[in-house]
Amino acid sequence: MASVSAWGQPARYGSADELAAYAGVSSKTIRRMVASGKVRGAKVGRRVLIPFEDIDGLVRKAAVAPMTPPPPSALDASGRARPLGPGEALWRARRASEALEALDGLGEEAEQAVTLAALLEGLGEGPAR
């Protein structure tokens, strides 16, 4: 019989609370992922243990592609905002859209709503609180 060391590192498992702290999401989100089958969970006694590698895989899928060089500054030499050209505006819009898509599956719906409201307010497109 082969030992665990022959296979490399043993798999690490944790509770929903441990994986939530590790991934930066709520434990409720982790439990939902287990219930939906996005991550595996094994019931051991009263605990549900979840492999860390499943969360790592989800984070890798959600990771944004490597950044391309940023566009020139939006400020002119005197510190005033300069108008964006159509190509630059499109570039920024695409990067923002890609970043939001990558975050779509993370967090609870209420957390996402609060984040969206803050983004829209910051862009001047949402109601001020």
Q: What pLDDT is attached to residue 72?
A: 62
One domain, residues 22 and 50:
yes
Query: Are the C-beta atoms of 49 and 13 separated by less than 8 Å?
Result: yes
pLDDT digits (tens, 9 = 90+) for 37-92: 988 998 888 888 999 988 888 777 766 555 566 556 667 778 787 777 778 778 88
One domain, residues 56 and 96:
no
Count of domains forming the chain: 2
d(CA 51, CA 63): 19
In CATH, what number is assigned to the domain containing residue 58? 1.10.10
One domain, residues 52 and 90:
no
Question: Three-state DSSP class for 59?
Answer: helix
Phi, psi of 49 (to 5 degrees): -100, 135
Classify residue 88: in a domain, yes or no.
Answer: yes
Mean per-residue pLDDT over the chain, rounded: 78
d(CA 44, CA 63): 31
Q: What pLDDT is attached to residue 1?
A: 43
One domain, residues 92 and 126:
yes
Classify residue 6: in a domain, yes or no.
Answer: no
One domain, residues 129 and 86:
yes
One domain, residues 59 and 96:
no
Classify residue 58: in a domain, yes or no.
Answer: yes
One domain, residues 93 and 54:
no
pLDDT-derived band of residue 5, with 50, 70 and 90 as boundaries?
very low
Task: Look up the domain containing 36 and give its range.
Answer: 12-63
Question: What's 4's DSSP letter?
Answer: G
**Strand segments (E) across 20-107:** 42-44, 47-51
Classify residue 75: in a domain, yes or no.
Answer: no
Nearest 5°: the CA angle 38, 44, 50 is 30
On the question of pLDDT at 97 being above 80, the answer is yes
